[in-house]
Amino acid sequence: MTKALIYALFVLLPSLAGAADSALLSMVMPDAKVLSGVQVDSARNSAFGRFVLSHMQLDDDNFKRSLSDAGFDPRRDLTEILMASNWSDANSRWLLLARGSFNIPKFTTAFATAGGTTATFLGVNIFSGKPADSVVAFLDAGVAAMGDLDSVKGAIQRYQQHGSKPGSALIARVASLSAAHDFWFITLVPVTEFAGAVPDPNLSQAMQGGMLQGITEASGGVKFGDVVQFSVQALTRTEKDAASLLEVVHFLSGLLKMNREKDVAASQIGSLIDSLEAKARGNVVTLTLAVTEAQLDQIMNTAKQENKPPAAKQ
């Protein structure tokens, strides 16, 4: 899997939501630097959550075809997803762990029909597509693991060591984060390192700019509902970096508000910024934003209209 897809999964993936599943967390690689999760059940009950789920895509056509042939719909058959990566230039590994309902015999038939191969590791079947860039394994009818071969094998080993404690330094910080959000993320990777994985060149360049260079860690999430709540916390190198970042956030939000009269989209985005709260404490910057689903629905409809191809001339 490319870093671009890892980035996309972390960005697109998402009463208090239940904390992250401990069994899934126990399968995470010990050297994980980035974690993200989504409570699919909660997302399904929200219009914006359903929008997020509809944009969850894998880049492996063989696996997508096999999932479809098995009658599997992730938006219906999953309850929780956890994504992990060690994000290393030398040996980048990734895992997508899921809890849900899996008809293993149907999956087995579908993978075989698609020309995939099957290998066994510690009594668990591992299915590979063509090419075998990624593999998938069903540890039981309710738990699945997908990723590169070494990471999936490691997940199987950790899953079978019942009661083993996950070794990642991130795990201890996941409990409160995942309990407060339906979608959440946490990264020990400096934000600028994600720039190379962003497909949009303008956004990629912006992420390498001075505003984000001082961010060494970040975490946050989204809580779905009639009012959608966004939150981000950024750890910077110094208090000066935090103050500079806060100044830029205030400048950009002010600029958006000033331009709200220029067009519908600018007006809608400007109205969202009205509820933005940004503050710095020491070298930590916290951003929170509360937006109604009706507002988000208006913005998404406007974007759809603007992206529509012009009607053909008669």
Instruction: Tell me the per-residue pLDDT of 92-145, one tens digit each, with 9 for 90 and over.
Output: 889 999 999 988 888 888 888 877 888 999 999 998 876 567 899 999 999 999
- Exposure b/e, 292-314, CB count within 10 A at least 16 = b: ebebbebbeebeeeeeeeeeeee
Q: What is the pLDDT of residue 243?
A: 94
| Amino acid 232: pLDDT | 94
Question: Which residues is 36 bridged to in the sheet?
Answer: 83, 185
> Torsions phi, psi of 269, nearest 5?
-65, -40
Residue-level pLDDT at 265 = 60
Band (pLDDT 50/70/90 cuts) for residue 23 is confident
For 63, the enclosing helix (H) or strand (E) is helix 61-69
Quick one: residue 49, left, alpha or beta (phi over 0 = left, psi -120 to 50 = alpha)? Answer: alpha
Residue 81 has pLDDT above 80, yes or no: yes
* pLDDT at 124 (0 to 100): 94
pLDDT, tens only, 200-231: 565 556 555 666 778 999 999 999 888 889 99
pLDDT at 4 over 50: no
Query: With contact defined as beta carbons under 8 Å apart, do 237 and 243 qualify?
Result: no
Nearest to 24 by CA among 120, 135, 166: 166
pLDDT at 59 over 70: no
198 pLDDT higher than 60: no
Nearest to 97 by CA among 21, 168, 185: 21
- What average pLDDT does range 7-32 have in this prediction? 64
Distance CA 229, CA 183 (A): 10
How far apart, in whole angstroms, are the C-alpha atoms of residue 98 and residue 108?
Answer: 17
Q: How confident is the model at residue 193 (pLDDT cuts 50, 70, 90)?
A: confident
